[in-house]
Chain A
């Protein structure tokens, strides 16, 4: 039960809570079917997991899905070396733009259908997601952090780092197929 509760217990959400993505296969299906995706990533993506740096997974997901990445993290330097579709923009600013139905996205090609978040502080993600949930209702959101985020449309459950890495590993594999 605790696995699908807000990780910070007092961060109690409203009446609509995120659906838990139990399996990476489901996450892969959702992402593949989403249409235009924006990834908002935070400083937390610079952490090392046991097999690979977390950033490797993020870059790979972005490359496979052809998503744009928005970040103000220092990981920007590394991402820029690997992807051209990254823009330095603070998370608050990009989330605010996403609430504008007329905004045509960072590449000017049209509104995003889905926003994926990873690597921001838990409470900051919690709040950005509640902003998007209430003021950008046409956009679906997924949290790929290892903590349950109740304000997303879909969220991973609370899990330890090894489980999370395994999840991301499988997700990348499934996205490739």
Chain B
């Protein structure tokens, strides 16, 4: 479906009614059909349209609620105590309230991506034109798998993306409305709405990323996207430095444009954190990525950035105070994040630059990206030499020792650190001259600064940890810049091996950097599966974390493994919004490899993915509401997600019960018979305590009912091997996953057969699996 403006101007027309002069006719849109695929059953589904599918999932994967708060304070009836079976004044019980809060969180997350997408598409239309084509590069025919699947629209131009976002807006309003007092009252219906929100979130992310890829010159589905510098140690301290942070790239891109237009590229360091860093590196690989979001305060405190440019999302909200402490200029660029600053958008660039250089203002708000680009560069170049004192060292080791002596041992830091780090012991050791314990906390410190906030003597604890051994300053790595989508040609090549199980799984490491034990866990998990020739995908802060470790030869994971969507590949798709390409790849497998109709055919494709595509998401440091909505988009599509231990604060898991045989019956599409398929995949949303537990669970969750015997044997061999590696024995549930003797890995045959005998195991049918009765081809 396409939509066009029509404008007709007639100077003079003779008609049967008479002569018409100076007639102007304007029609906003003419809708015409140019999508050869017939419309599927659920174009632009409303909340109710996919509810049956949601209930099918939720019947198997039941919510386990862990109330993070047992009270409700959302209306003036409250506070209401909902604990131990009580209901609030509105009638809600604890389960409904928890699911309601999950829905609220997901609405926040999805609205944030949608708002991001809207601002971005508006900007790109203004700059590049409404008729700019959607172009994801060679080898990509299905340019927008989520958009096609959900809305039935095949977007040709930026204009078409506006229609997609209008649908998302509309749905989000209804979803948010359902959280109002006296609306939805059923926990599972709230959960269904959570899944709907997640689906919309993926749609908005896809719109945002395909828009910027199409017109901004990003890598287009390129497995050989350039390697980019990563880490503080890669920054040339002798040059003026601009720091960009956030998620919405136009301002950062305009900085690069200004540098190029004025022959200054290479003379100013453009450095970034979080997703803006990903995207500006996709825009120009000469820019540098400092690290995940947790690095933002330590980077400003290094004194290196002369100018700090913030856009939107996940930015520490008092970053401006940190910038002030080191005399750096602060530029806010988004109406969602104005920071109390004066709007200087309408003022001349010369005036703004003068005010900032002369210190009349230390921060400004500018909504025009081009103006931001010029102001940031000119101010950074003027200030760099003046700010030399801030760049020559932060807190010295002697100063750390002196500061440590001021500790009053009140334990407040211990009792606030989310990772329960032994901060007080480390500070007391430092007071005696031993900085090793402080330094050892660096890996696990997530930079939340809560310790500093509660410290009674205001010790700069974060800085003391970061500069106890200057690890930060030695960080020099490489990351492959975000490649964007997966090519149709790649999907054709690996679709079969994935669906039949010969490529044992597709593992996506996504999300934020709120790690309980440091980023090394994520790196080690990714490396483990890449070596085992799973396909490893990464995005957002997790993709940066993967790049921040080296092997014995000094190579990062991106230098060791190819960037192609193939067994043993390690693929950085890009920023948060590039997560849509991960879901998109799963959808494309169903469409391109299996030839399932795509257009507005959500249920069938999700059923295919759940039962056949061994994909698992791992959000080891998930922190935000956006991460919650991203995860829920994966769940509805049938892709399980594992989060780290802090993820338990999302207050609800979606767990299968492998001990309840009746939960695991599906239809054999060939016969219509209901057959036991085993707990595959066992869970939909699950929190792991440790890296070892997660690794074993990832391998297990890759199993799908459709696996061929060869594929299941490969998947089982990895699952068993990993379990033995960490737990020294055979897994206790193998009998649930072995369907026929041919499923048993050949090298483990005797051992497993003996185990199966103990469990009175019997052979089972391998079905053509589906949960949808309408897909049964023949009824017995």
The reply on A130 being an interface residue by CB < 8 A is yes
Contact B81 A14 (CB under 8 A): yes
How far, in whole Å, are A9 and B417 apart by their CA atoms in the complex?
A: 10
Once A14-B81, A72-B688, A127-B648 are accepted as A-B contacts, the answer to whether A121 and B732 lie under 8 Å apart by CB is: no
The stretch from A27-35, A51-59, A85-93 touching chain B is A85-93
Q: How far is the CA of A123 from the CA of B644 in the complex (A)?
A: 12
Check A92 against B653 for contact (C-beta < 8 Å): yes
Q: Is the CB of A131 within 8 A of B697?
A: no
The CA of A93 and the CA of B642, in the complex, are separated in Å by 13
A127 touches B689 (CB 8 A): no
Q: Verify if B397 is at the interface (C-beta below 8 Å from A).
A: no
In the complex, identify which listed stretch (B64-72, B202-210, B532-540) lies at the interface while the others stay far away.
Answer: B64-72
Check A135–B83 contact: CB distance below 8 A. Answer: no
In the complex, which residues of chain A have a beta carbon less than 8 angstroms from the beta carbon of B646? 123
Assembled-state Cα–Cα distance A93/B697 (Å): 12
B69 to chain A: closest residue by CB? A14
A23 at the interface (CB under 8 A from B): no
B64 touches A9 (CB 8 A): no
Is B686 in the interface zone, CB < 8 Å from A? Answer: yes
Taking a contact as CB atoms closer than 8 A, the residue among A7, A74, A93, A121 that contacts B655 in the complex is A93
- Using a CB-CB cutoff of 8 Å, which residues 157-172 of chain A contact chain B? none
Q: Chain A residues with Cβ under 8 A from B693's Cβ?
A: 72-73, 90
In the complex with contacts A14-B83, A88-B732, A121-B516, A73-B689 CB distance below 8 A: yes
Question: Which one of B71, B693, B728 has the greatest number of beta carbons of chain A within 10 Å?
Answer: B693
CA distance A125 to B657 in the complex (A): 21
Question: What residues of A have a CB within 8 angstroms of the CB of B726 in the complex?
Answer: 74
Which B residues touch A87, using CB under 8 A? 732
Nearest B-chain residue to A119, judged by Cβ: B689
- A9 — nearest CB in chain B belongs to which residue? B415
Closest to A91 in B: B689
CB-nearest residue of chain A to B690: A43
**Would you call A121 and B70 a contact (CB within 8 A)?**
no
A88-B731, A127-B649 known; A95-B64 Cβ under 8 A: yes
CA distance A22 to B382 in the complex (A): 64
Q: A72-B690, A130-B67 are in contact. Are A92 and B648 (CB under 8 A)?
A: yes
Nearest B residue to A137, CB-CB: B84
Would A123 and B81 count as touching, CB distance under 8 A?
Answer: no
Q: Which B residue's beta carbon lies closest to that of A8?
A: B415
For residue A97, CB closer than 8 A to chain B, the reply is yes
Q: Is B562 an interface residue (CB 8 A)?
A: no
Are B689 and A90 in contact (CB-based, < 8 A)?
A: yes
Check B67–A77 contact: CB distance below 8 A: no
Residue B729, interface by CB 8 Å: yes
Q: How far is the CA of A128 from the CA of B687 in the complex (A)?
A: 11
Whether A97 contacts B657 by the Cβ 8 Å rule is yes
Interface residues of A in 6-40 (CB under 8 A from B): 7-10, 13-16
Residue interface mask A68-86, B partner, CB < 8 A = 1: 0000111011001000000
A residues 108-163 near B (Cβ < 8 Å) are 120-124, 127-128, 130-131, 133-135, 137
Residues of chain B contacted by A96 (CB below 8 angstroms): 62, 64, 653, 655, 657
Given contacts A76-B727, A124-B648, A127-B651, whether A43 and B689 have CB atoms under 8 Å apart is yes
Tell me if A92 and B64 are in contact (CB < 8 A). yes
Q: Is the CB of A72 within 8 A of B418?
A: no
> Is B94 an interface residue, CB under 8 A from the partner?
yes
A43-B689, A74-B690, A92-B655 given as contacts; is B416 within 8 A of A127 (CB)? Answer: no
Tell whether B85 is near chain A: CB-to-CB under 8 Å.
yes
Interface 1/0s, chain B 477-490, versus A by CB < 8 A? Answer: 00000000000000
In the complex, per-residue mask of B54-90: 1 if CB is within 8 Å of any chain A CB, else 0? 0000000010111111110000000001011100000
B645 contacts the other chain (CB 8 A) = yes
Contact A127/B655 with A15-B81, A15-B83, A121-B645 known, Cβ cut-off 8 Å: no
User: A123 and B649: CB pair below 8 A?
Assistant: yes
Q: Most B CB atoms within 10 A — which of A7, A76, A96? A: A96
A76–B732 CA distance with the chains assembled, in angstroms: 12
- Given contact pairs A8-B418, A16-B84, A130 touches B727 in the complex (Cβ within 8 A): no
With an 8 A cutoff between CB atoms, is B420 at the interface? yes
Q: Cβ of B659 < 8 Å from any Cβ of A? A: yes
Q: How large is the interface on B (under 10, 10 to 19, 20 to 34, 35 or more residues)?
A: 35 or more
Check if B94 sits within 8 Å of A134, measured CB to CB: yes
Q: Chain B nearest CB: distance from A14 CB in Å?
A: 3
Residues in B254-268 with C-beta less than 8 Å from chain A:
none
CB-based nearest A residue for B686: A92
Contacting residues, chain B, for A121 (C-beta < 8 A): 420, 516, 645, 689
Set of chain B residues within 8 Å of A8, measured between Cβ atoms: 415-416, 418, 420
Q: Which residue of A lies closest to B692 (CB)?
A: A74
- The interface residues of chain B lying within 8 Å CB-to-CB of A122 are 420
From A102, which residue of chain B is reached at the shortest CB distance? B660
In whole angstroms, what is the CA distance A73 to B696 when docked? Answer: 12
Q: Which residues of A contact B420 (CB under 8 A)?
A: 8, 121-122
Q: Which chain A residues lie closer than 8 Å to B686 at the CB level?
A: 90, 92-93
Distance to closest chain A CB from B660 (angstroms): 9
Q: Report Cα–Cα, A16/B645, bound state, in Å.
A: 25
* Nearest A-chain residue to B687, judged by Cβ: A92
Residues in chain A near residue B728, CB distance under 8 A: 76-77, 80
Indicate whether A120 sits within 8 Å of B689 (C-beta atoms), given known contacts A15-B83, A77-B728: yes
B697 — which chain A residues lie within 8 A by C-beta? Answer: 90
Contact indicator B659/A97 (Cβ below 8 Å): yes
Q: Which residue of A lies closest to B70 (CB)?
A: A14
CB neighbours (8 Å) of A13 from chain B are: 70
Min CB distance, B488 to chain A, in Å?
A: 38
Question: How far, in whole Å, are A15 and B655 apart by their CA atoms in the complex?
Answer: 28
Give a binary string over B683-708; 1 marks a CB under 8 Å from any A CB, 0 the rest.
Answer: 10011111011001100000000000
Q: What residue of chain B has the Cβ atom nearest to residue A6's Cβ?
A: B415
Distance (whole angstroms) from the CB of B518 to the closest CB of chain A: 14
- Residues 701 to 740 of chain B near chain A (Cβ within 8 Å): 723, 726-729, 731-732
Instruction: Report chain A residues within 8 Å CB of B85.
Output: 134, 137
CB proximity to A under 8 Å, residues B577-636: none
Chain A CB within 10 Å — which of B65, B416, B729, B731 has the most?
B65
CB pair A42–B66 under 8 Å, yes or no, is no
Least CB distance, B455 to chain A, in whole angstroms: 13
A43–B659 CA distance with the chains assembled, in angstroms? 24
User: Given that A74-B727, A92-B653 are contacting pairs, would A131 and B689 also be in contact in the complex, using a CB cutoff of 8 Å?
Assistant: no
Q: A9-B416, A127-B651 are in contact. List 10 more A-B contacts (CB 8 A).
A: A8-B416, A10-B416, A13-B70, A16-B83, A16-B84, A95-B64, A120-B689, A123-B649, A134-B84, A135-B64
Q: Would you give 25 A-B contacts (Cβ < 8 Å), ordered by A?
A: A8-B416, A9-B415, A13-B70, A72-B688, A73-B693, A74-B692, A74-B726, A80-B728, A87-B732, A90-B697, A92-B687, A93-B686, A95-B64, A96-B62, A97-B657, A99-B64, A124-B689, A128-B66, A131-B67, A134-B65, A134-B94, A135-B65, A135-B95, A137-B84, A137-B85
The 9 tightest CB contacts between A and B, nearest first, are A14-B70, A131-B66, A127-B66, A96-B64, A72-B693, A77-B728, A14-B83, A127-B648, A96-B655
